């Protein structure tokens, strides 16, 4: 199963860890996970919070239960998270394969042109977010406006 929501990447991975840690380990601990994230983190809108929850689930940092979301006791962004990003976030693998197959650094528009998935290719904002998350996870490097896988 792949997940489509990709939040705006934060300035650093510590911000993402803080957001993940704000989700309780007991899904019944809060009545509304989105409201809880707004109260406990730097997120400012319900839409942002609603994007983060399934994204963190895609990374296997959260589970969704009938009572709501819960996080695993330990949250860390490691090789397991990298693999989950690649395989469970829609478009991530296509973007990473495009970078890895390139013989030179690529700009975001060049990645958009080269990515084989038409749906991903036509969503420039998604490609930009996937590229920035890939950088945060150490799966790609950015030099100015160029990316290398």
What dihedral angle (degrees, nearest 10) is formed by the CA atoms of 70, 75, 77, 83?
Answer: -50
Where along the chain do its domains lie?
1-90, 91-148
Nearest to 23 by CA among 1, 3, 43: 43
Residue pair 78/134 in contact by the 8 Å Cβ criterion: no
Which residue is associated with the tokens 């803080």? 18
The pTM for the full model equals 0.94
pLDDT tens across 112-140, in order? 999 988 888 888 999 999 999 999 999 99
Given CATH 1.10.10, say whether it is the number of domain 1-90. yes
pLDDT tens across 12-24, in order? 999 999 999 999 9
Residue pair 30/65 in contact by the 8 Å Cβ criterion: no
- Classify domain 91-148 at the CATH topology level: Arc Repressor Mutant, subunit A (1.10.10)
């Amino acid at each position: 199963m792949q997940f489509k929501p990709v939040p705006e990447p934060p300035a650093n991975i510590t911000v993402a860890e803080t957001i993940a840690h704000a989700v309780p380990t007991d899904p019944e601990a809060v009545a509304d996970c989105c409201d809880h994230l707004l109260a406990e983190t730097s997120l400012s809108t319900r839409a942002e919070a609603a994007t983060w929850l399934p994204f963190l689930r895609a990374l296997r940092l959260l589970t969704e239960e009938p009572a709501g979301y819960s996080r695993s006791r330990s949250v860390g962004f490691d090789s397991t998270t990298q693999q989950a990003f690649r395989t469970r976030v829609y478009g991530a693998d296509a973007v990473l394969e495009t970078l890895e197959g390139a013989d030179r650094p690529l700009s975001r528009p060049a990645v958009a042109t080269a990515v084989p998935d038409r749906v991903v290719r036509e969503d420039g904002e998604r490609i930009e977010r996937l590229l920035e998350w890939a950088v945060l996870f150490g799966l790609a490097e950015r030099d100015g406006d160029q990316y290398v896988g």
